[in-house]
């Protein structure tokens, strides 16, 4: 009834919806971030790879260069406001503009309410929530100058529903939803769209480490009967970053295969 393995959506696209747009993608070294960087480049964007892991960031940068795409690698810890401001300054010095921001960087340190440590709580919120705040504060003034900008924040279905043993992650992702809506209200008058994507179970390196019994449980509860692919999430992100989504702002788009709808 269902495919045994997720369909792989081609990265290359015939469309050029993002032609010559400068797009910053955080956490672009693997998973959804990497798929987004490749997808946006295939649609004509000049892609800035923002990644704290030098090895994975360099790998994606090389792949884009080999494909003849315009790309820039900037190692950066998005939780560090000074580092983020320096990253944006480097992009402006290199290309003189910045039209798209995808806030994807993140990680998790699982824990229940009574077992989560202060360090784990602060580390997860620092990257997900403070990182999203830092990058938006750094790029929006440049978008205001051009009266144009597209921001897509990657949240999670857990940000809407919560999850046992994911206290920090769920809180951070819920915070991103509130931040997305607040900023969308604030900057809409400047021609800037701010939206969020809420992935469900997605076949990323992080999920690959999840015990099979948990993945199988989620898949059983997913109407489409499978995990999503990073490319499928990237397709929605790229749409929201394009002018085809020009009348969407403050939207929180679930890409979950129907899980927890």
**7 lies in a domain?**
no
Which CATH number characterizes residue 171's domain?
3.40.50.720
SS3 state of residue 14 = coil
Question: In the annotation, is 169 catalytic?
Answer: yes
Q: Looking at the domain assignment, is residue 129 inside a domain? A: yes
- Please count the structural domains in the chain: 1
- pLDDT tens track of the chain, all 261 residues? 344 544 444 444 448 999 999 999 999 999 999 999 999 999 999 999 999 999 999 999 999 999 999 999 999 999 999 999 999 999 999 999 999 999 999 988 989 999 999 999 999 999 999 999 999 999 999 999 999 999 999 999 999 999 999 999 999 999 999 999 999 999 999 999 999 999 999 999 888 888 899 899 999 999 999 999 999 999 999 999 999 999 999 999 999 999 999
For residue 209, being part of any structural domain is answered with no
Catalytic residue among 2, 148, 158, 169: 169
Question: Does the residue 212 lie in any domain?
Answer: no
Q: What is the pLDDT of residue 7?
A: 46
Give the per-residue pLDDT at 210.
85
pLDDT of residue 111: 93
HEC-encoded secondary structure of 185-225: HHHHHHCEEEEEEEECCECCHHHHCCCHHHHHHHHHCCCCC
Domain-located, residue 11: no
Distances (CA, A) of 191 to 59, 133, 150, 224: 34, 19, 9, 36
Residue 195 is assigned to a structural domain of this protein: yes
Is 109 part of a structural domain of the chain? yes
* pLDDT value of position 13: 45
DSSP β-bridge partners for residue 215: none
Expressed as residue numbers, the domain containing 42 is 22-201+229-254
Model pTM score: 0.93
Task: For 29-74, give the DSSP string.
Answer: TSHHHHHHHHHHHHTT-EEEEE-S-HHHHHHHHHHHHHTT--EEEE
Cα separations in angstroms, 18 against 13, 239, 247, 249, 255: 11, 9, 17, 18, 21
């Amino acid at each position: 009834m269902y495919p045994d393995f997720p369909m792989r959506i081609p990265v290359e696209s015939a469309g050029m919806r993002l032609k010559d747009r400068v797009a910053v993608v955080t956490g672009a070294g693997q998973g959804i971030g990497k798929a987004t960087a490749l997808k946006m480049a295939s649609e004509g964007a000049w892609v800035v790879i923002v990644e704290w892991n030098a090895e994975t960031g360099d790998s994606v940068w090389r792949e884009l260069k080999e494909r003849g795409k315009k790309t820039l690698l900037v190692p950066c810890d998005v939780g560090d406001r000074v580092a983020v401001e320096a990253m944006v300054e480097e992009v402006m010095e290199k290309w003189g503009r910045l039209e798209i921001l995808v806030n994807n960087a993140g990680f998790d340190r699982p824990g229940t309410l009574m077992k989560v440590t202060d360090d784990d709580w602060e580390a997860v919120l620092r990257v997900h929530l403070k990182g999203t705040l830092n990058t938006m504060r750094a790029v929006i003034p440049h978008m205001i100058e051009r009266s144009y900008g597209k921001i897509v924040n990657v949240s999670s279905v857990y940000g809407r529903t919560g999850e046992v043993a994911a206290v920090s992650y769920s809180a951070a992702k819920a915070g991103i939803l509130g931040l997305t809506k607040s900023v969308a209200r604030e900057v809409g008058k400047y021609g800037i769209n701010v939206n969020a994507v809420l992935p469900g179970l997605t076949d990323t390196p992080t999920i690959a480490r999840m015990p099979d019994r948990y993945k199988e449980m989620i898949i059983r509860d997913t109407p489409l009967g499978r995990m999503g692919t990073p490319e499928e999430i990237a397709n929605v992100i790229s749409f929201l970053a394009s002018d085809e989504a020009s009348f969407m702002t403050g939207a929180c788009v679930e890409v979950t295969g129907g899980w927890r709808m």
